[in-house]
Chain A
């Protein structure tokens, strides 16, 4: 990976010093510069530091009302899950059993993922219909129901990334920088240690 990457850098650097023509892409008039609106409409991924989180806020009280209206039909009134959708609470202490129950509370390593997934994928059949404050409130409600925050805690772009999820340290490798050496990690028989 580094190999490819380092090759690219000098190519870009040389192009920058060359003529204007040399800075243009290889294939003329294929593809165009997107408009700011086109990028904004699709640029929805939220990283763990939360720098992409939009302005807005919510709390679990508001989230509970929304949950009853928009989520309980599939996820259950008490977030216990149903044949239609997984449980959103419970599972503490089950991860070492033969029947691990992997919920946002017992398993998910990052709170930002909850916001990201609700906004992009929920509610079913009306994906993308929630307002930003509603997404914050539903995120807060799930965190509250898993005893991670209090009911009136305000969840926003500042507070959400700071939440440490209970299973944050449950993943290997811990240090994601190790993944950069994925080819050197001594993967044998199709498995990595």
Chain B
């Protein structure tokens, strides 16, 4: 939030408080038999706000109508300020968002329903209140865009700039505590027929985003979430219901979920066939990739940070994997010559961000900081050279292609200069 907006919000809130006082004043003019005057609570206290000295915000942009009318470029999304994060939860207000140019719908939860139909014995429609009556689970899961940390991801060239911060390099991932009903619970209620092999999940947003998902994942750990970090899911994250598909590309996590259709083939919707496949050098595209690989990023000291000087500095960062829990994170402070196991901090949850740290005493000389994640399946985060080999391409192709390299999870290097400045070294 910029200072101007802060001032405006303060003004509005003070105005509301004054209005409250006015009501209080007229109430006190009533006869003594009226209820004893309760202390008026300033609106600022009703919904807490962080210190105005704390300024971390998302960056990027959304494609709102005003921008369109002014002929400003189509913008893509807002990134989480990972460099300012502590612990493994992303505050809901800082959760990344990619809207493909559409605004979040304003949904009255009393009017919203979830339909389960198609190849089922008992088609069912649930109100949001009915969903909340069912047995629930509460789980930590990250949601990550498949283009996150790609040399040219949804944020464009900002990711490969020398002055990129973790927000620009890796900000399209966020982690929340999600509460909701396992999709398998709803599927059992509806009675899935044996012909059903896929589901179509569909949102109630303007373009009615739809995504085909293999039914195995629906039975495994997908959940219909209504809670996020102790409160209802935020509107830009799918209020009132969001499908959480743990560990899979963000596009599967359908917001404003209104429908689950049981079908016997993928429906080749626009996003899954035309925006989210990743193209190889030979012009062939990989499509229907789902699971995100192990990834990590040092969030401090990292790009944009200034070392105060030689001496002790705890290194910290985040690691995650779509396959399961983070088992190990190694940190190198000498450009990869030697590696040291980092400490993993609780909670260490499956398909969730895991906070790591490693003590370091900087000698004041130029060096490269790296982190490497290993998940509980034994898969190790690759170097960019290993990623290039998988693509049958060279590193130059990965860095220069103008399209998103999906599921790019190469080790992120941060260069510490002798003057204490820290820069992105994947450029």
| Pair B407/A190 contact, Cβ less than 8 Å | yes
| Pair A180/B259 contact, Cβ less than 8 Å | no
B126 sits at the interface (CB 8 A): yes
Q: How many A-B residue contacts, CB cutoff 8 Å?
A: 212
Q: Which residues of chain A from 135 to 193 have a CB within 8 Å of any chain B CB?
A: 170-173, 176, 179-180, 182-183, 187-193
Residue in chain B with minimal CB distance to A81: B74
| Pair B265/A180 contact, Cβ less than 8 Å | no
B122 sits at the interface (CB 8 A): yes
Knowing A5-B219, A180-B197, the reply to whether A121 touches B208 (Cβ < 8 A) is yes
Residue in chain B with minimal CB distance to A179: B288
List chain B residues, Cβ under 8 A from A38: 113, 115, 125
| Pair A33/B194 contact, Cβ less than 8 Å | no
B269 sits at the interface (CB 8 A): yes
From A84, A100, A121, contact of B279 by CB (8 A): A100
Q: A190 vs B321: C-alpha distance in the bound complex, in angstroms? A: 9
A66 sits at the interface (CB 8 A): no
| Pair B267/A83 contact, Cβ less than 8 Å | no
A32 sits at the interface (CB 8 A): yes
From A15, A32, A39, A99, contact of B117 by CB (8 A): A39
Interface size on B (CB < 8 Å)?
86
List chain A residues, Cβ under 8 A from B220: 4
User: Chain A interface: which size bin?
Assistant: 35 or more
List chain A residues, Cβ under 8 A from B232: none
| Pair A30/B133 contact, Cβ less than 8 Å | yes
Q: Which residues of chain B from 190 to 214 have a CB within 8 Å of any chain A CB?
A: 190-194, 197, 200, 202, 206-208, 210, 214
Residue in chain B with minimal CB distance to A32: B125
From B123, B134, B208, B263, contact of A27 by CB (8 A): B134
List chain B residues, Cβ under 8 A from A95: 279, 283
Other A-B contacts than A5-B219, A27-B133, A188-B379, 9 sampled, CB-CB below 8 A, are: A5-B216, A26-B189, A30-B189, A31-B126, A39-B117, A102-B274, A172-B287, A173-B288, A189-B381
Which B residues fall within an 8 A CB radius of A?
65, 68, 71-74, 113, 115-117, 121-126, 130, 133-134, 188-194, 197, 200, 202, 206-208, 210, 214-217, 219-220, 258-259, 261, 263, 265-270, 273-274, 277, 279-295, 321-322, 379-382, 386-387, 390-391, 397, 400-403, 407, 409
